[in-house]
Structure 1
């Protein structure tokens, strides 16, 4: 049974597949028969074929890998994967040093002696202390009258105890 010939609206969507040999044999024969009879569709076919040839000449490597090139690439990938890594990464070393410095900065206050930390605060000022004494000299045997009492005053500087802070232990002594 003979097949019906294609119309232009049926043929033109199939031209791209016809140019790239992607049609089944029966459809290919029907499109070829229509192109022999229709000058409009034949002109569209020539334009499609020219664009396809220009693209194939300009960009030949798209979608068509060279097997030798692929083999070289796979060999390079395999050798890179099999190579032992003996050199430590510098970023890991930097991160290790940064972590060590951070931990030391956190532990430094606890490692110092508490007395040294307390003495870092300036000492309080010394307050003057005045002491008075009364000397009475009398001799009951002499029968004499007692001498008037003499007063003596002396001024010394006394140490005012340092204020206790929550961090200062109670057994800290002033070394002044």
Structure 2
């Protein structure tokens, strides 16, 4: 698909009218073509300016009155009344035309005094750890984030300290999390630029998100541009040499634990991440510890083993999975009953038998 064909679809893509496969074609092309990507960003900025255009509060009433007067005059000359929806259509059309005329007047009047209009809001900082700082588009220095819902206009920069991080939500409902020692430019609600550090993003259900990077200053290289498709997640890391790495689902998110533990975070996501980490611990125990060492841990060693057994990826190593279940069954106490109950329906019959025997053992013990 050539550039002209892609650009002809920009309007439909902006309005979310393309089918899923067409949207993916456009996203793939934007990630490869710098020229089309630049035009796409210009279109997004123009759309934001049009949406933010102010209309006088009394404009509609004045137009309605004017249209009403003209309609009364026409009715005296023509006995047949217009269709019922005609008046509303005329009002809507005139309002739209007036708005466009107003916009053109602003653009075409060179002698108008400059108006101090703040840049459109692109995102907000919803939570942060440590001394996170931002720099407004026209500011000379950095300022501290003053709490949740700190506004980030288009063109803002945000950076996190050596020990810290933050979470950002865009105007399009995308989520981004910045790791420690990370700096990012907010070009718009769906376009960010990672200058250094690590950024995780979750694109909005109906809107892809673009993450760009910055090439080394002493080269003429084109910066990398990564497109996170709608309703998907991605992670981009830029090292000190401006080399970029990108990861797609599933991504490693252990560094996000401090942010997810803050009040107001998604507790379901936190629980899921903790379970994944415990499952990784259980897998590591099976790799680097012998059976006697695991048994010596007692009941506390059973939890990560059972988390590993519950992890879908463990089915790729059935022998290791069964051995982990056997060891967990030997040392588990009643704190593991919830996980054992879930494993009673496991597809592996050996796992089911071990879970059933362990539940029975713990039930008898608690009844005494």
Instruction: Give TM-score scaled by structure 2 length.
Output: 0.15
Instruction: Give TM-score scaled by structure 1 length.
Output: 0.30
Answer with 1 or 2: which has the greater Rg: 1
- Report 1 or 2 for greater relative contact order, CA contacts < 8 Å, sequence distance ≥ 6: 1
| Larger relative strand fraction | 2
